[in-house]
Amino acid sequence: MKVVLQRVSSASVTIEGKLNGKIGQGFMLLVGAQDSDGPEEINYLVHKISKLRVFSDDAGKMNLSIEDIGGEILSVSQFTLYADTKKGNRPSFIGAGDPKHAEACYQQFNTALRALDIPVETGEFGADMQVSLVNDGPVTIIFDTDHK
């Protein structure tokens, strides 16, 4: 699985002109899965993301986790994280997971985050979405379970 994490002061996702999810301070996550992904990758990412210390403490150091600050997550599925741009100018998405499998991984990932009492808003798997965010920092971190 691949996840692009952005620390945000706010984020939202709109589908067909309707607000689907909105958060305040926390993480905006773009989430992609491939066919070889399963519970091991999901558990790894949930642990890393929930414990990631990138929020400022009283001394101004990035020392607090999303759990520590009571933050929220906006999770949006994004198969284009598996774009292969090695040949030509049109990306290939052959590395992205089968949609049924990828959706199951995405849903399990969000469920596991919610099980930690982290509020999670989502987009809609496979939908054409418009995402807005205010990147705080900016802080952007990429997770790839193939390179853990």
Residues tagged active-site = 78-80
Contacts by residues 48-57 (CB-CB < 8 Å, ≥ 24 positions apart): 48/143, 49/3, 49/5, 49/73, 49/113, 49/143, 50/113, 50/116, 50/118, 52/5, 52/141, 54/7, 54/139, 54/141, 55/7, 55/25
Retrieve residue 75's tokens. Answer: 């999770």
Can you point out the beta strands (E) in 16-126? 18-23, 26-32, 55-56, 62-64, 72-77, 120-122
Which residues make Cβ contacts (< 8 Å) with residue 36, sequence separation at least 6? none
